[in-house]
């Protein structure tokens, strides 16, 4: 069976490894073009391109994967099926019709919940206790195709989006591989999604990462967890931005923004309801440090109020 893989981000690497280890033939990999990234804005390949080069798999990086010449290249690959994981481009009907057994997409939610680009962070922001992974057939509408397989997993209360991302990637690779096996066996049973229950998870913005001590402790904790895999949640402390990378909610009360722990200990800051321990933070222009190290550096005392 010949497979063409479409993907860009690290989320799909476990699936690629699983397919190769199972002896599945990947005829080609299609990924996004190299882009500037990081502080220096140096041009970087996608993680999937790096994987392709390391494993001797032909790789293409079209700006528009649905252009007529790209459709002809896909036809020349003669794929039985295409597997899509975190590609980052909406594929149109003309290209979806090329492989005889269609395009399978691995998505990091229990569809129809959290369709879109950022399902795991949004599940954490919403305070969900479980999420999962879904393999479905691509159709014209975003993440709306019939479902082949799903698997539910719990979201631990202290797990952040980076940790959840890894769990979903590994779990997803196993059902993606099983889905390919079902296609090979000709034993596929798809179930239509009920779009009445669809919710959407667009890309997160930096504005949504701002937290306030007037939020309750669970909402602050969930915001910190959700943004841990991207640009980080933040507050303003002493007129400067303070990124908050890791917290733990606690059931104590105080004036919102007030420091409730003695100097030198892990800072506990009161919220509108409850409080949070600041386990890891980062001041502007500084490295990440433990909350205890930060509180000593700024000489906070119990009763001080962060604004």
3-state class (DSSP) for residue 240: strand
H or E, element range at 299 = none
Per-residue pLDDT of 152-161, as tens digits, reads 999 999 999 9
CA angle 181, 184, 186 (to 5 degrees): 110
Look at domain 206-297 and name its CATH class.
alpha beta
Please tell me the predicted confidence (pLDDT) of residue 139. Answer: 96
Q: What percent of the chain shows pLDDT beyond 90? A: 85
Is the pLDDT confidence value at 41 over 90? no
Please tell me the predicted confidence (pLDDT) of residue 305. Answer: 84
Please tell me the predicted confidence (pLDDT) of residue 268. Answer: 95
CA angle 161, 244, 239 (to 5 degrees): 145
User: Going by C-beta distance under 8 Å and a sequence separation of 6 or more, which residues neighbour residue 128?
Assistant: 155
CA-to-CA separations, 244 to 65, 163, 229, 234, 259, in angstroms, rounded: 38, 16, 12, 5, 15
Please tell me the predicted confidence (pLDDT) of residue 1. Answer: 86
Per-residue pLDDT of 291-301, as tens digits, reads 999 988 888 78
Is the pLDDT confidence value at 303 over 90? no
Is the pLDDT confidence value at 126 over 80? yes
Residue 95: pLDDT band (50, 70, 90) is very high
Beta strands in 94-146 (DSSP E): 103-107, 130-137
Is the pLDDT confidence value at 174 over 90? yes
Mean pLDDT for the chain overall: 94
Query: With contact defined as beta carbons under 8 Å apart, do 220 and 265 qualify?
Result: no
Q: What is the mean pLDDT of residues 99-125?
A: 96
Half-sphere exposure of 213 (CA within 13 A, CB side): 21
Q: Which residues pair with 42 in a beta bridge?
A: 37
Query: What backbone phi and psi angles, to 5 degrees, belong to 122?
Result: -70, -35
Please tell me the predicted confidence (pLDDT) of residue 239. Answer: 83
Please tell me the predicted confidence (pLDDT) of residue 296. Answer: 85
Query: With contact defined as beta carbons under 8 Å apart, do 239 and 154 qualify?
Result: no
Query: With contact defined as beta carbons under 8 Å apart, do 10 and 31 qualify?
Result: no
Domains of the chain, residue spans: 2-197, 206-297
The reply to whether 2-197 and 206-297 are identical in fold is no
Say how far apart CA 298 and CA 159 lie, in whole Å. Answer: 28
Please tell me the predicted confidence (pLDDT) of residue 299. Answer: 80
**Superfamily of domain 2-197, CATH level 4:** Formyl transferase, N-terminal domain (3.40.50.170)
Which alpha helices (H) appear in the chain, and where do they start and end? Answer: 13-21, 47-54, 68-77, 93-96, 119-125, 161-185, 217-226, 291-297
Q: What is the mean pLDDT of residues 69-77?
A: 97
Per-residue pLDDT of 231-282, as tens digits, reads 999 998 878 899 999 999 999 999 999 999 876 789 999 999 999 999 999 9
Please tell me the predicted confidence (pLDDT) of residue 187. Answer: 83
3-state class (DSSP) for residue 241: strand
Q: What is the mean pLDDT of residues 18-39?
A: 93
- DSSP output for 8-72: -SGGGHHHHHHHHHTT-EEEEEE-PPPEEETTTTEEE--HHHHHHHHTT--EE--S-TTSHHHHH
């Amino acid at each position: 069976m010949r497979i063409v893989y479409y993907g860009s981000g690290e989320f799909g690497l476990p699936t690629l490894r699983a397919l190769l280890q199972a002896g599945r033939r990947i005829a080609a990999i299609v990924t996004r073009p190299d882009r500037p990234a990081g502080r220096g804005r140096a041009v970087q390949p996608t993680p999937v391109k790096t994987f392709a080069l390391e494993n001797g798999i032909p790789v293409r990086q079209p700006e528009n994967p649905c252009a007529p010449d790209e459709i002809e290249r896909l036809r020349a690959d003669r794929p039985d099926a295409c597997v899509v994981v975190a590609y980052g481009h909406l594929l149109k009907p003309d290209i979806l019709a090329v492989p005889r057994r269609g395009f399978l997409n691995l998505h990091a939610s229990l569809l129809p919940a959290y369709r879109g680009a950022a399902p795991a962070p949004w599940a954490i922001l919403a305070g969900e206790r479980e999420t999962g992974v879904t393999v479905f057939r691509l159709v014209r509408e975003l993440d709306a195709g019939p479902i082949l397989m799903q698997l539910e997993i719990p979201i631990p209360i202290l797990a952040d989006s980076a940790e959840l991302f890894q769990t979903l990637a590994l779990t997803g690779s196993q059902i993606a591989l099983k889905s390919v096996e079902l296609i090979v066996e000709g034993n596929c049973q798809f179930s239509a999604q009920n779009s009445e229950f669809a919710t959407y998870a667009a890309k997160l913005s930096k504005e949504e990462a701002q937290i306030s001590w007037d939020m309750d402790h669970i909402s602050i904790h969930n915001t910190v967890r959700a943004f841990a895999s991207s640009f980080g949640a933040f507050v303003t402390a002493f007129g400067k931005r303070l990124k908050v990378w890791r917290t733990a909610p606690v059931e104590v009360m105080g004036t919102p923004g007030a420091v409730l722990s003695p100097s030198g200990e892990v800072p506990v800051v009161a919220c509108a309801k409850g409080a949070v321990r600041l386990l890891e933070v980062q001041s502007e222009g500084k490295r990440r440090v433990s909350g205890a190290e930060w509180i000593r550096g700024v000489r906070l005392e119990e009763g001080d109020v962060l604004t």
